[in-house]
Amino acid sequence: MVSDLSPSAFQLLNAWQHGFPLESRPFRKLGLLLGLSEQAVMDYLQGWRSDGIISRIGPVLNPTCMSSTLVGMPIPAKDLDRIANWISTLPAVNHNYAREHAVNLWFVLTCANEQERQATLDHIAQYTGLLPLSLPMLRAYHIDLGFSLTTHVKIASPLAPSHSLPALGSAERKLLERSLQGLEIQAEPFKPWAEHAQMSEKQVLQHLRSFLEQGVFRRFGLVLRHRTLGYSANAMCVWTVDNHRIDALGEELARQNGITLCYQRQPHPPHWNHNLFCMIHGKDRQHVLAHHAELNSRLGLGQFPQDVLFSTRCFKQRGALLGPAYHD
């Protein structure tokens, strides 16, 4: 699929996952840079969105400006679909996957604050009668700025602290909430955002640049769906590492090619003891397992308790939104 693209189309898909032009007619600017017409750029993007290759064009929130956690739940097989589908209806849940493990459902919960996050966890426990294992991130060693489709020199990208979110009800907050839904693919896509936030288009672009500079946005650009692109073997790899060694190993792991996410999470003993996490995406299971074995050998990770949790089903995948954490 990707191999069939022209060089200009491939560059559009791969390079503009970040650094998207924040100007009145961004698709015209992209066309000028790529040797394409404005309409050709929009046609490519419309087609990719229809085919599920891109989920949206817009910002990715910095998780440090929210109260976010990874949650695992051990769910009886007969109840998995019912409970997973119910969890996917919760507005605070943005990623929700079944994985190969006794703890077989994994989702990301993103809330405005810690109190809201705990209330949502309590709501899930009450509804399901099961224990949600909340594993908040303690340190990010690498969170990739996109999903690169080429081999390149790896630069670890830890999270920087973020400014706080704009106040509820403010014009800036309205703009932020609208931006998370993504741009419409039209010649002047920022004008509807300006109307929604009741500000000028110039002010919209200034605020978006400020959100990037302040670290509220991790990036702004195309958000790809790696499964649709053929990366169907996706594994969450976890280890239980001594606290005095985890930072050195985490930083080294983050520098390895093919690692898109790498972080330390708070364990939940006795139900979950692993504290070092990374994601490996591949086109087949054997490639991912070979990469995992190579990491164990090269970095000395083979000595630690570990698991490889391949995803078996995606129940929900979208960017974080701001709003109520769950329905009453």
For the cut 70, the answer to whether the pLDDT of residue 158 exceeds it is: no
Q: What share of residues in the chain are helix, strand, coil (percent, to 5)?
A: 40, 25, 40
φ, ψ of residue 272 in degrees (nearest 5): -155, 115
For the cut 80, the answer to whether the pLDDT of residue 327 exceeds it is: no
The residue with greater pLDDT, 290 or 112, is 290
User: Region 260-270: what's the mean pLDDT?
Assistant: 94
At residue 151, the pLDDT reads: 56
User: Region 243-261: what's the mean pLDDT?
Assistant: 93
Q: What is the mean pLDDT of the chain?
A: 89
| Weakest-pLDDT range from 23-27, 73-77, 157-161, 177-181 | 157-161
Task: Name the token pair of 27.
Answer: 């698709």
Band of the pLDDT at 152, cuts 50, 70, 90? very low
Place of tokens 């190579």: 294
At residue 166, the pLDDT reads: 86
For the cut 80, the answer to whether the pLDDT of residue 144 exceeds it is: no
At residue 154, the pLDDT reads: 45
At residue 65, the pLDDT reads: 81
At residue 162, the pLDDT reads: 58
Phi/psi region, residue 230 (left: phi>0; alpha: psi -120 to 50; beta: rest), is left
Cβ-proximal residues to 193 (8 Å cutoff; 6+ apart), any chain:
175, 178, 179, 204
For the cut 60, the answer to whether the pLDDT of residue 155 exceeds it is: no
Instruction: Give strand ranges (E) for the chain.
Output: 54-61, 67-73, 93-99, 105-111, 133-135, 137-143, 217-224, 233-239, 259-265, 276-282, 306-317
- Directed axis angle between helix 7-15 and helix 26-34, to 10°? 130
The residue with greater pLDDT, 277 or 7, is 277
At residue 67, the pLDDT reads: 87
For the cut 60, the answer to whether the pLDDT of residue 325 exceeds it is: no
For the cut 80, the answer to whether the pLDDT of residue 113 exceeds it is: yes
User: Region 66-85: what's the mean pLDDT?
Assistant: 95
Half-sphere exposure of 292 (CA within 13 A, CB side): 24
The residue with greater pLDDT, 45 or 13, is 45
| Weakest-pLDDT range from 16-20, 51-55, 157-161 | 157-161
For the cut 60, the answer to whether the pLDDT of residue 110 exceeds it is: yes
At residue 105, the pLDDT reads: 98
Cα of 268 vs its chain's centroid, Å: 23
For the cut 50, the answer to whether the pLDDT of residue 4 exceeds it is: yes
CA angle 279, 215, 143 (to 5 degrees): 10
For the cut 80, the answer to whether the pLDDT of residue 164 exceeds it is: no
For the cut 50, the answer to whether the pLDDT of residue 141 exceeds it is: yes
User: Region 93-115: what's the mean pLDDT?
Assistant: 94
Domain 64-157+230-317 falls in which CATH fold? Alpha-Beta Plaits (3.30.70)
For the cut 70, the answer to whether the pLDDT of residue 326 exceeds it is: no
For the cut 80, the answer to whether the pLDDT of residue 318 exceeds it is: no
For the cut 80, the answer to whether the pLDDT of residue 228 exceeds it is: no
